[in-house]
Chain A
Amino acid sequence: MKIGEIAVITSDNKTSDDFIKSICKKIDIKNGVVSFGRFDANDQLGLHLYGISLHKEGKSLSWDIISRKMLGYIVIFNWEDQISFETIKTILDQLSKNLPTPVVIAANVKNVNKPPIPAIFFIPDGIPISANYRFTFLQADRPQSARRTMVLLVDMLLKKLSY
């Protein structure tokens, strides 16, 4: 079976777990540092999602090793939480300096009943920031929204392969 690996980086465990559950239906392994889920496209092809939370343990991860394996990154912060954004900003700087890998920066909107932003911002293609970076809004605990974010990353990979 051929596997593509994707890192889901968040500022807290819950968001990455929510996202992985939305895509993979369940979390296969959870060890406090990394949450792991499998998504099977068919019996020959799948994705492995690694949820990495940066708030404590994340800093001890060896990025040199893990980062080079990934097809792409989904970096999630909580839209209404300034500290959450500051936390992921460091990793964004690190990624942009070292890797030419597609990254989707997703702002997680928690209060789904009263979204703090107009629905028009949840556009399917996201907002391009640079060749390798796109911004989008997300509701990590909603499968449809999480899958849309993943499709955005896959589209970036496809575009990269076309050039």
Chain B
Amino acid sequence: MNKKTNILLIDNDNTYIAPLKTALSKAGFEVTCWEDGQKILELAKKLKADLIISEVDLPQINGQELFRKLRSIPEFKSTPFIFLTNQKNVDERIKNIELGIDDYITKPFYAEEVVARAQNLLTEISNLKDKQLEINRGFTGNLTEMNLVDLIQTLELGKKSAVIKLKHHPSLGTVLISDGKVVDASLDNLSSEDAIMRMFTWTIGTFLVDITTVNNDSKIKKSNKELVDIGIRRINEWEQIKQGMPPLNVVVLKTDHNNYIELSHEEKEVLDSIDKNIQLCDIIEKSKFDDLKALEIVRGLHQKGYLQETDDNYSYYVDDYVKGLKQNTAHSKTASERAVSIISTLWKESTDKQAQAERRKSDRRQIADRRRKGRRRSDQLQHTNFIYLTKAELLMVREALL
């Protein structure tokens, strides 16, 4: 991390500011604290702030107003902005995120959490900034809206050559496409094919497509169609395994179980590798197993009670919910992004239809089997009263009731 990164910290509540300033300084940032909204624009300009962390309710100026004013100044157009607030109201939170705030942290918080979020945000922004000039030749976006399968299909349609860079905290992967065909991929120490398989399941993070000449030899033997089929299958499997699990960015800790007998060798291995509070997605990333296998192991450990969610995960559930809401609204996309997204979605749907038909056939077979064998009571129970609200939604209902 660059040691001269300037952070402007605006809050008049010293209870939070003092420890936060210390933690940020320890992490190598240059921190300037300011108590109110007065003359803040001048100060931000003078400091050339790289990141602004501000309380929403400031004495002279409302946080949202401050954000709007800063964003209207060209040099702060892309400066990351984090809100700190005592306000737990979900409507307010959604409104702020919709406003374009980069992150939103509810008090009380751990200073270390804010430092980690600030570091991630700055790394993400610097990666994008480095490529700013090249963006004119390509496009960037969010993996939640367009995953690797969508990108490959889009580039194949136009027979384009490009380098796709995918960022999925904390990993950075690359996929090379030559005349619409996937030729190579790299991620950590994985082989080309293993790298691309792992990146297929990345649905959180950002991508950057650089349309450029690619002359590399093909290290991937599979055709695009084969890769896309595998990719779609992996995404579906990933989503299925993920059902009933908390968002993958929640922080968990290992519980003090003495009885490891019920665990498989693989589960024990993953559990032993955890020595501190860690996000579920990091356990999967660090695991030596294939990501689907790792997700399954992590789900098993969570369900058996070996991984316990820490108390400060509320914001991740709400972030997850807000992401879902955002995914359903296309208003933030440009016309060209929408067009690309629609084409790829249509393509995906047509290939998905075959898989759906297969699934329906299998479901019919299972129903017929049950009829033959007689309906068991456990079947009857499984098919009633599915909890159709997610954990995040239930938490929001709970909060609104209190």
Contacts and interface: CB of A to CB of B under 8 A. Distances in A.
Interface of A: 2, 4, 23, 39-45, 47, 67-68, 70-71, 98-101, 147, 150-151, 154-155, 157-158, 160-163
A100 B244 contact: no
A151 B397 CA distance: 8
Contacts of B230: none
A68 B385 contact: yes
Contacts of B91: 42-43
B215 interface: no
Given A2-B393, A4-B388, A71-B387, A161 B244 contact: yes
B401 interface: yes
Contact of B397 (A4, A161, A163): A4
A99 B384 CA distance: 7
A158 B385 contact: no
16 contacts: A2-B389, A4-B397, A41-B90, A41-B396, A44-B325, A45-B396, A99-B381, A99-B385, A101-B384, A151-B401, A157-B389, A158-B394, A158-B395, A158-B398, A161-B391, A163-B303
A43 B396 CA distance: 12
A39 to B, nearest CB: 8
A82 B21 CA distance: 63
Nearest to A6: B397
B299 to A, nearest CB: 12
B270 interface: no
B380 to A, nearest CB: 8
B394 A154 contact: yes
Contacts of A157: 387, 389, 394
B402 interface: yes
A161 B302 CA distance: 12
Nearest to A101: B385
A3 to B, nearest CB: 9
Task: Identify the interface centre among A2, A39, A42: most chain B CB within 10 Å of its CB.
Answer: A42
B400 A41 contact: yes
B355 to A, nearest CB: 26
Nearest to B94: A42
B395 to A, nearest CB: 7
A118 B394 CA distance: 31
Contacts of A2: 389, 393
Interface in B288-318: 303
Nearest to A160: B387
Given A41-B90, A44-B325, A155 B385 contact: no
A150 B400 CA distance: 11
